[in-house]
A and B are shown apart, each in its own frame.
Chain A
Amino acid sequence: MMKLKKNIPLIDQHDKYGFWGGKFGGSYIPETLKKPVDDLTKEFSKLRKNKNFIKKRDFYFNNYIGVPTRFIKLENLSKHLGGAQIWAKVVSDANGGAHKIYNATVHALLCKSMGKKYIVGDTGAGYAGKMLSMAAKKFGLKCKIFMGAKDIKRQKPNCDAMKKNGAEIVPVTTGSQTLVDAVSECMRYWVSNCDTTHMCVGSTVGPNIFVKICGWSTAQISRELKNQIKIQFKKIPKKIKLINCVGGGSSAYGFWSEFIDFPKSQIELIGVEAGGPKNSKLHAAPLSRGAKLGVLHGAASYVCQNNEGQINETESISAGLDYPGVSPIHCFLKDTKRARYTYATDEDALNAYKLVTKFEKLNPSLEPSHAFAEAIRIAPRLNKDTVIIVNSCGDAKKDRDILKKRLGKRI
């Protein structure tokens, strides 16, 4: 039986081959990448114990990213729904407007310390790419971003930002031309250039080490939140629900990591995947819609795929969630029943966006709008002692064109 351990970060609860729960994760990589992955693994395990490196990380988190991000009560929305109190952790306050900056900054620091001058990364919504281009600029690294051609069209503001930061955007025109293809192309580029180039995987996916580095970076979110909750409520309340959207799962892991050891009855973890358009058969919700275990981009996880093992195309209004796989650590949290996963459709997310922006001074992107959809759905049935906290992990500036098209000129 699969079991979670206490007092050990989830990112470290894997076996010697890198599998969580004996079957999720691992490193399914071509031989050429074995060495760079091993080198990175050694470097990271050394640096995360190094006081100077931690100091450096904290310095940039404080002075560059601008932590802590706000923890606020959504009074009007709570009142309107008339049930549980709804709070938001406004992670989109972070420099650049989303949680992707944590992972990008850490990867840039790692790249520097390994003496590499080039950094490459993948991006879906464009936030991972934008943040990596920012961090690369900050630390004097040359940066290439791989992005699906379809995503380049629908997330133009972030592309503009990447270019402004001096990064080269490589459009990926294979397959569905979205995140899945961008990650493949980025890995292929790394296979050819791993001697001079560092690769940043934009979420808690990919070969084991990338899951760990990303999770270690975003864990900042829940460290802050734990303090903020204690200050706000004097102690940890008896009923908390932490709601987060899940694409690859980096913001969700970061939002939950400090709370995994708490009993489920006290702190419930709810992940919301992208259900896609209401009447479409395509979705990007491998956990909540029962996808089979498979291998994608170097790791075993639940993957949207056909019987033959070909990866399915996905469809979601949110480029950041539009991915057929999911982090192995979320598969582990699902199978150990510590977290509950559900999905919201495109329409649910848009409605949630409308409601949140109508009542609050908050502008969540389409990704966290999926999480708000679930909060809005369950809040009315709960009493006011229940504290729902939504991770508002991205800002909607990048979604300006989609929102205008779908909701009219009002935005």
Chain B
Amino acid sequence: MINPINLAFKNAKEKKRPALLTYTVAGDNTKKKSLEILKSISKDIDICEIGFPHNTPIADGGQIQTSAYRALKNGLKISDVFQIVNDFKKTKNSKPVILMGYYNMIYQYGENNFIKKCKSSGVNGLIVVDLPWPENKGFAKKCKAKAISFVQLLSPTTSKERLKNIIKDSHDMIYYISMLSTTGGKLKVSPKQILNNYNKIKKIDPKKNCVIGFGITEKTIAKLRSADGLVVGSAICKEITRSLNNRQNPVTNVSKVVAKLRNKIS
């Protein structure tokens, strides 16, 4: 059976467009609302990344921090994250789920327990921001044994030698960080430059699905559409914040934004 993450890329490719990946923080702004958001955007996206919020994030910009603090303030626990995934996966139109977060939460939960729980709630992949290669080899292996994709990150600072090694050890998907930035920074390199680097990665192993993330918005997404997949996170978190500030319903507003993003690459 083909892995759901690979299948999602295959489907998008058949329609000659990049896969659209969204990032939302579990429990932002409440458990119920974040599940509703996932359900309502599901039809327009190919894969959802769901963040498990941490209160000392070292690689997230302001928008995602705000979302994470909001979720934590509303009492979100790790068990709630799994519950949200579980409920989402039961819906008709659900998409593959990649959980994304910081290592300490996995460490406190216990690596094996965490992976087990991922498996039982329907998680398909994991991104751990502060567990780089080669330190992540052991954990990545454990994920693979349970058919969970461990997603390796690559950045503009990653040396060529390192790129090769990381790609060799990667699973179904790799994630290229577009620029030197925390999440949600303003795109400070040209899309052309980003695609240049992206192509270097693809050259090493054309079969691996590679997504680009960080700094992607409605304005920039179309220019990067030749990639296998594109991740939008902060722009969505920002929309949730804006909606809450204006006392509007974040569910409808976010689905509008996501529909627009999808439109730009279709």
Interface residues of A (CB under 8 A from B): 17, 26-36, 174-175, 180-181, 184, 187-188, 191-195, 292-298, 303, 305, 307-311
Contacts and interface: CB of A to CB of B under 8 A. Distances in A.
Contacts of B135: 17, 26-28
Given A34-B162, A191-B58, A305-B108, 19 more contacts: A17-B135, A26-B135, A27-B135, A28-B103, A30-B129, A30-B130, A30-B155, A31-B157, A31-B177, A36-B157, A175-B55, A175-B69, A191-B182, A293-B107, A295-B103, A297-B58, A308-B108, A310-B105, A311-B55
23 contacts: A32-B180, A33-B157, A35-B159, A175-B55, A180-B56, A181-B56, A184-B58, A191-B59, A191-B182, A195-B157, A195-B180, A295-B103, A297-B58, A298-B58, A298-B130, A308-B105, A309-B104, A309-B105, A309-B106, A309-B107, A309-B109, A310-B55, A311-B56
Interface of B: 54-61, 65, 69, 72, 77-78, 102-109, 129-133, 135, 153-159, 162, 177, 180-182, 185
Nearest to A313: B55
Contact of B181 (A34, A35, A191, A293): A191
Contacts of A187: 58
Given A308-B77, A308-B78, A32 B157 contact: yes
Nearest to A19: B135
Instruction: State the main secondary structure of chain B at its contact with A.
Output: loop
A180 B60 CA distance: 15
A298 B130 CA distance: 7
Contact of A174 (B69, B133, B154, B156): B69
Contacts of A195: 157, 180
B250 to A, nearest CB: 21
Interface centre among A188, A298, A305, A307 (most CB of B within 10 A): A188
A29 B54 contact: no
A310 B129 CA distance: 16
Interface centre among A28, A35, A36, A193 (most CB of B within 10 A): A28
B31 to A, nearest CB: 15
Nearest to A28: B130
Contacts of B78: 308
A303 B103 CA distance: 14
A33 B185 CA distance: 16
A78 B59 CA distance: 50
Contacts of A191: 58-59, 180-182
B223 to A, nearest CB: 21
B155 A32 contact: yes
A251 B234 CA distance: 40
A295 B130 contact: yes
B200 to A, nearest CB: 15
B210 to A, nearest CB: 14
Nearest to A38: B159
Given A28-B131, A174-B65, A174-B69, A295 B58 contact: no
A184 B177 CA distance: 20
Nearest to B152: A31
B54 A31 contact: no
Nearest to A185: B58
A393 to B, nearest CB: 26
A221 B7 CA distance: 61
Interface centre among B56, B129, B153, B155 (most CB of A within 10 A): B56
A234 B110 CA distance: 54
B106 to A, nearest CB: 8
A194 B57 CA distance: 17
B54 to A, nearest CB: 7
B103 A188 contact: no
A295 B159 CA distance: 26
A174 B66 CA distance: 9
Nearest to A36: B157
A30 B158 contact: no
Contacts of A309: 54, 104-109
Contact of A294 (B69, B77, B107): B107
A112 to B, nearest CB: 21
A41 to B, nearest CB: 14
Interface centre among B55, B106, B153 (most CB of A within 10 A): B55
Contact of A193 (B61, B105, B130, B180): B180
A30 B58 contact: yes
A180 B56 CA distance: 8
A33 B153 CA distance: 12
Nearest to A33: B157
Contacts of B162: 34
B107 A295 contact: yes
A151 B185 CA distance: 27
B157 A35 contact: yes
A305 B107 CA distance: 12
A220 B29 CA distance: 50
Which 3 pairs from chain A and chain B are nearest by CB? A309-B108, A35-B157, A309-B105
A237 B72 CA distance: 54
A34 B59 contact: no
A35 B103 contact: no
Contacts of A17: 135
Contacts of A298: 58, 130
